[in-house]
Structure 1
Amino acid sequence: MTDRSVRRYLTPVCATAISAGIVLSGSPASAATTTTGFNAWCQAVSVLTVNQAAQHIFTVDAPAQVNPGETFRYRIQPAPAAYPNKQSIATTTNVSRLKMDYQLPDNATFVGAEVVPDTGVNLTGTPANVLRVNENGDPDPDGTILRLSGDNEVIGNSPKANKASVGGILVPKTQKNLDGTPTADLSTWFRLPAIDVTLTAGASGDITPKLRTGGTAANIGDEGNYNTFLALAFALNANQWAPTRCIPKDTQDDAAPVNRGGGPLATIAIGEHTGNVTNTALTAPTKAKAGDTVTLSASITPATSGGNVAFVVDSIQVGEAPVVDGTATFDYKFAQWGDHKVTARYIGDGAHRPSLSDESTVTVDGGTFGSVELPPLGSLQLPSGS
């Protein structure tokens, strides 16, 4: 597993860079897949306190619509991840006490949640489970938070918290990929397991799975941040512990609001969709240069001035734009060369039903690196005899 668009590093002690995400492994019947990418700020505290930006990606598989009183489930899973062999003066030993906190949705009654077997990779320590906890992190049958962890052995916000001992879900250092092959850079890959959440739909409204970002959990470095873990490394002739916490924000300013990572990761409508049937047509360039801004445009018919369009690149939602007079536009920069699949999804506005565009392919090459113009892919020549 070496796709840099989803890989994350858990960097201990002297710096941190974590990119948590979700990929689906298996799915409920008749499910729709929603993938949301967003920026996050992660804080590691050890010899130094370091804040660093990261890209997080979450995918939820859930039915798009359920009937009032219907019992259903959705599935969510953190993406493959990796931590480095060494960062600056610190040599990584392991990562443990991992957790993911999810907010229970409104407009539904909780039935149960469980870890999906055989969806975790390279995990030891305390077996992963799902607990219903309250704001203090205590197991509570009336709690509003679902916690994926190793029996609540985490770094904080728990009666079993500890910042200076290995515990909970442990990722041993293997220096291997997910498939067991050695990594070229000596990093260690792993994957947290998927969880299935079972709910009974209420009478009306939308059910929106979210990350935990309520209350103080919306503050950078808070023990209630949805994604936390404990890195252990050897530096300065001693073991160094680096408890790390991540929150969906575009800046490290606590006054800044959470970004779309704090919003719905999926929307499950209760009852049949009502309103006019719509059609979404995407306009995108067939070619682009890496690093250049291009405009993606979606036309909604019949024309409306309500609701948003989500623009999706390679199955990842990269942004949203409002519909005005039947049109929504979004500026985007392709960072990587190659062919990219782009779609536009109209979310609807109550009077108009959602719709999805056909897929377009944008071929990206060339671009700039600093002040140097890079050639198109087709113009690259290999030396004779290569």
Structure 2
Amino acid sequence: MVSTLMRRGVGVAASLTGCVALVVGGAGVSSAADVNLPFTASCHGWQFPGPITHNETRDSGVTISAPTVVPPNSTFTYRLAPKPMTVPNDGYDLRSVVNWTRLKFDFDIPAGTSYVGAQIVAGTSSNLGGVAPTITRVNDAGSPDPNGTHLRISGNNITAGNGPNTDDNGGGGIEVGGGKTFQLPAVDVTVTSGAVGTQIKPMLRVSDTNSGSYDSAANYLTFLQQETLLGGVKYWLTTNCSPRDNRSAGLNAGGQPLAVINVDSSLAQTQTRIDAPGKAVVGDSVELTATVTPWPSGGTVQFRDGGVDLGAPVAVVNGVAKANRTMTTAGDHNITAYYTGSAGFMESMSGAVTINVVEPSEPEPGTGSLGSLGTPGFGS
């Protein structure tokens, strides 16, 4: 069976016959590496009910995986992941923290690109309650907008401020309990590059009106902190955080470009094909093989089951990367191979092949060993 796919802005032929899939790389990449960027967030909280406000700093940061070079007018994907944060146990003036709620995390669609889409990466969040995380394209007012310049991680755009569904004295959206360390999900962002010689600079939301200011509902990170006093009296602190070392400082590394992607026309296009068995049994180790052409000078292949990485990346040697992976659950598993690119060579993604994984079969009754039958002459 042959199907025609559109991936990353180019026509692609994918052959699934014999569990082999091939996709032409449409995104040019010289290399894609994780950049770990910790920084301090300076936060201001103001209380409902009551006039109390307070200032504090928190550890924040992001990890971004992006190419260093892409061709002009090519469609590619980069990944942005907020770093883990911890909700405190102790609140203001001997109060206890119940939770953070109405969490949102905003970042910009890079200037000089055409937005294609974004999606939450499955399995990359932890310790989140309330509404499941969503990714929404929003405008400066925080409202969903197909022409908006920001992307928002939230629970259905339920926020403490800057949006159509806000509240300063009630829970909702993404929630995290007091004392818990949590991880917001990573997001894969797909955009199309511009002209040769330009640069693409992914950034947090800091450049539109007030978003880079101290204590703004448009800050990249905002939430409600619910606290209780002895006797059960509830207090809600609307908290706005911007990337700065303290309330009087300018923007720190979190307010600068998170990566710089150069637009260049000197990259070779690659194709990645994946080979895998069509069937397996739970507990089996299956061999996955990715073939990259033309043979690149280096780089790695990441095998994935749906959107989840299967182990660590595997080095490409003479155009081939092989890995053995154990199938742990029954069902259809859609396996892909992502070549990360190397100097002078584009990244490329294979089509998906399906491995049908079944539970081990039960022995039929009466097929036990002869020694268990009590037959004379065997064990007597």
In structure 1, the partner of 2:305 is: none
1:252 maps to which of 244, 247, 251: 247
Structure 1 residues 29, 234: closer, same or farther in 2, change over 3 A? farther
The CA RMSD measured in Å over matched residues stands at 2.1
2:146 pairs with 1:141: yes
Match of 1:240 among 229, 235, 238: 235
Pick closer, same or farther for the CA change 1:52–1:66 going to 2, 3 Å: same
For the residue of structure 2 that corresponds to 1:58, the secondary structure is strand
Task: Choose the corresponding residue for 1:118, options 123, 126, 139.
Answer: 123
Structure 2 Cα separation of the partners of residues 92 and 56 of structure 1: 19
Corresponding residue for 2:220? Answer: 226
Q: For 1:229 and 1:120, how far apart are their aligned partners in 2?
A: 17
Aligned to 2:159, what secondary structure does the other structure show?
A: coil
Match of 1:50 among 47, 54, 69: 54
Identity across matched positions, percent: 38
Q: Give the CA deviation at 1:127.
A: 1.4
Q: Equivalent residue of 1:261, what SS?
A: helix
Query: Any conservation in 2 of the 1:35–1:265 contact (CA below 8 Å)?
Result: no
How far the C-alpha of 1:249 sits from its partner, in A, is: 2.2
Q: What's the CA shift for 1:210?
A: 0.3
1:226-375 pair list within 5 angstroms: 226-235=220-229, 237=231, 238-253=233-248, 257-271=250-264
Deviation per residue, 1:110-143 (Å, 9 max, x gap): 0001111111112121111111111011110000
> Within 5 A, what are the aligned runs for 1:9-48?
30-46=31-47, 47=50, 48=52
Q: What secondary structure does 1:218 align onto?
A: coil
C-alpha contact (below 8 Å) 1:42/1:244 kept by paired residues: yes
Please give the alpha-carbon distance, in whole angstroms, between the structure 2 residues aligned to 1:125 and 1:53.
25
**Residues 53, 171 of structure 1: alpha-carbon distance in 2 compared, 3 angstrom cutoff:** closer
The separation in 2 between residues aligned to 1:161 and 1:149, in whole angstroms, is 12
**Where does residue 304 of structure 2 map in the other structure?**
none
Contiguous gaps of at least 5 residues in structure 1: 1-27, 174-186, 275-386
d(CA) in 2 for partners of 1:40, 1:112: 28
The corresponding residue for 2:157 is: 152
- Cα distance in 1, alignment partners of residues 222 and 193 from structure 2: 30
Once residues 118 and 250 of structure 1 are traced to their aligned partners in structure 2, the CA distance between those partners, rounded to angstroms, is 31
Superposed displacement of residue 30, structure 1: 4.5
> What's 1:84 paired with?
88
**SS of the residue aligned with 2:210?**
helix
Residue 242 of structure 1: how far off its partner (Å): 1.0
Residue aligned with 2:123, SS: coil
Match of 2:176 in 1: 171
2:60 is equivalent to residue 60 of structure 1? no
Number of residue pairs aligned between Structure 1 and Structure 2: 232
Q: Residue 220 and residue 236 in structure 1: after superposition, are their counterparts in 2 closer, same or farther (change >3 A)?
A: farther
Shift of 1:248: 1.5
- 1:251 positional shift: 3.6
Structure label with greater radius of gyration: 2
The change in CA–CA distance for 1:267 and 1:122 in structure 2 (over 3 A counts) is same
SS of aligned partner of 1:68: coil
| One-letter code aligned to 2:222 | T
Query: For 1:142-192, what per-residue CA distance to the aligned partner results, in whole angstroms no more than 9, with x for missing partners?
Result: 00010110111000010001111110011245xxxxxxxxxxxxx222211
SS, match of residue 62 in structure 1: strand
Higher relative contact order (CA 8 A, sep 6+): 2
Tell me, in whole angstroms, the C-alpha distance in 2 between the residues paired with 1:42 and 1:273: 44
The 1-side partners of 2:265 and 2:168 are apart by 48
Q: 1:192 to 1:113 in 2, by over 3 A?
A: same
SS at match of 1:210: coil
1:203 is matched with 195
Q: 1:248, 1:273 → 2: CA distance?
A: 36
Instruction: Specify the SS of the correspondent of 2:152.
Output: strand
TM-score by length of 2: 0.58
Say which SS state the counterpart of residue 243 (structure 1) adopts. Answer: strand
Structure 1's 240 and 72: CA in aligned 2 closer, same or farther, altered over 3 A?
same
CA distance change for structure 1 residues 118 and 269 in 2, over 3 Å: closer, same or farther?
same
Asked whether the equivalents of residues 60 and 85 of structure 2 are also in contact (C-alpha less than 8 Å), the reply is: no
Contact 1:133 1:147 in 2 (8 A): yes
CA distance in 1, matches of 2:76, 2:153: 20
